[in-house]
Amino acid sequence: MARTAPTEFADESELEHQSATTLLGRLISAFTELVRNEVALAKAELAESSTRAKSGVVALIGAVSTLLAGSLAVIAAIILGLAKVMEPWLAALTVGVLISVVGLFLLRGARKKLVPPHLEIDRTRTAVRQDVEVLARRS
């Protein structure tokens, strides 16, 4: 985010004739505005990161509810079907293990979306560096 020098500082001969108090007041005012703008930029970037985290939570809820609904709806029928060819306890165990494996894959995908992103304040960091460079050149 490139910033241009305010037009009020453009004429250096005008700056030489102003009092130190006026210049100090203008400097404090400009610095206050700069800090306000940088804080606003940081807030916007943090809000964007939290939106991504919310979408991860939604994905996790979807995965868990799908796992539960699918397991409960199909488990009884599969166990009863397998109970005709093997012991009922073995049929229940087999189906339970298979559904758990599917659930683990769903959970793994949801957890990837929930990994907290590093705080992406790159734009703020870049803008602050540029501001420091501009202030360093002026002094």
Residues 6+ apart with CB under 8 A from 128: 38
Residue 2's pLDDT band, with cuts at 50, 70 and 90, is very low
Angstrom CA distances, 85 to 17, 76, 77, stand at: 100, 15, 14
Contact call for residues 135 and 3 (beta carbons, < 8 A): no
Q: What percent of the chain has pLDDT over 90?
A: 17
Per-residue confidence at 126, pLDDT binned at 50, 70, 90?
A: confident
Least confident of 60-64, 97-101, 103-107, 109-113: 109-113
Mean pLDDT taken over the chain:
80
Q: Which of 11-15, 41-45, 93-97 has the lowest mean pLDDT?
A: 11-15
- Mean pLDDT over 60-83 rounds to 86
pLDDT at 119: 56
Beta carbons of 103 and 67 less than 8 angstroms apart: yes
